[in-house]
Amino acid sequence: MLKIGCHLSSVKGYVHMGKEIISLGGNTFQFFTRNPRGGAAKPLDTEDIEKYNSFAQNNGIDVILAHAPYTLNCASAEEEKREFALRAFSEDISRLELVRGAMYNFHPGSHVGQGADKGIELIADILNRVITPKQKTVILLETMAGKGTEIGRNFYELRRIIDKVELSDKIGVCMDTCHVYDGEYDIVNDLDNVLREFDSIIGLERLKAVHINDSKNPFGSHKDRHEKIGEGFIGIEAFERIINNRYLRELPFYLETPNDAEGYRKEIEILKNIYK
């Protein structure tokens, strides 16, 4: 069965998100742990979490993906911003330990002129300060499109972060189709070789989730602008190959396309219909 969902608002809690994704035809979902522009997380509602865990078990929601705020920059040159990243990371992971099947995805960060080497060192430092041996929540590094001073623009940079993390068994990768395509990995015409390269550098066993987004821009543009499925430069035929690929088909897929609920419902149906 295709594990497919979309990004949902967490304002009304976990149970509401669980019911919403079922109503849209999905069986997994992604959400922000707090305002995507940063700030404090809302008060923890353990009753809602307990009800959600039961709902998820009864409705076949085995895995979900929490997304860190965009303002979380572990590679910042400013100590104050790194301290926010550390606090947010620690708090988010602590909360997610209570939630059934939760993974935690984040953009590795931007080195803002310090250079990739320094940025990678700073990211790994925060991960080493946050991750604990008994932690259940897997942390996912997201593949990036390579705009500006983003770290994670290629598989090598992600590998270098992983190599510096002491408890690296808690680290995985989320591959964003728009990002890797914009970042010069040709998943449209050469998907098998892209995955072989990923395997040789990082290891396919670390690939835990896929952000399934079309791209508004052509191959290698380094722009990171998502488009609706089948309406961008990646195209529906490539997505059929992606979701049916033997290395990807069992992973959870998350839509982050420019859509409302009805648009997501249609895209979920489209992808389910081409899943073999």
Mean pLDDT of 71-96: 95
Q: Of the CATH numbers 3.20.20.150, 3.90.1300.10, 3.40.50.720, 3.40.630.40, which one belongs to the domain with range 3-274?
A: 3.20.20.150
pLDDT band at 40 (very low <50, low <70, confident <90, very high): confident
Query: What would you report as the CA-atom Rg of the chain, rounded to the nearest whole angstrom?
Result: 18
Q: Where are the beta strands (DSSP E) in 177-233?
A: 207-211, 214-215, 226-227
Element (H, E) at 261: helix 261-274
Task: Please state, for a pLDDT cut of 70, what percent of the chain lies above it.
Answer: 100
State the residue for tokens 């290395």. Answer: 247
pLDDT digits over 113-159, tens only?
Answer: 999 999 999 999 999 999 999 999 999 999 999 999 999 999 999 99
Q: Is the pTM of this model over 0.85?
A: yes
Question: CA-to-CA distance for 37 and 72, rounded, in angstroms?
Answer: 9
User: Which structure tokens are listed for 79?
Assistant: 């100590």
pLDDT digits over 158-194, tens only?
Answer: 999 999 999 999 999 999 999 999 999 999 999 999 9
Cα 50 to its chain centre, rounded Å, is: 24
Residue 201's CB is within 10 A of a number of other CB atoms, namely 15
pLDDT digits over 227-260, tens only?
Answer: 999 999 999 999 999 999 999 999 999 999 999 9
Q: Which residues sit opposite 215 in a β-bridge?
A: 226
